[in-house]
Amino acid sequence: LNTEKGFVPETIRVKKGSNYRVHIVNVNQKEKNISFVLDAFSEHHNTVYGQERTFNLNPKVDGIFSYQCPETAVQGRVIVISDGPSDRKPASK
């Protein structure tokens, strides 16, 4: 959702190699014709108040990618993680 206070949710977590269907809805009553931009995945959509936009997302690399609404300067992020075991070590013992 693109709201007057920003995106809900602000952070989306997905797994690398999986397919996702993303639904964007503009519920911002002050800005009735705004954009959703996720450059890293070449997704750019006009969002008219109350209407839904849908696209598929198939992340192929791990990382943190931002999405934004240029007209209102709000941002969110997509976090892509691998499905396999983690090699991370504990921060402390």
Question: Which domains occur in the chain, in start order?
Answer: 2-81 (2.60.40.420)
Indicate the pairing of strand 33-38 with strand 6-7.
unpaired
User: How does the average pLDDT of the chain come out, rounded?
Assistant: 91
Instruction: Give mean pLDDT, residues 26-51.
Output: 93
Q: Would you state the pLDDT for residue 49? A: 94
pLDDT band at residue 77 under the 50/70/90 scheme: very high
Q: Would you state the pLDDT for residue 62? A: 97
Six-digit token string for 35: 């954009």
DSSP state for residue 52 in the 8-state scheme: E
Q: Would you state the pLDDT for residue 90? A: 72
| Of 17, 12, 28, nearest in space to 74 by CA | 28
Indicate the pairing of strand 74-81 with strand 11-15.
parallel
Q: Would you state the pLDDT for residue 84? A: 67
- 3 three-state secondary structure: strand
**Whole-model pTM?**
0.81
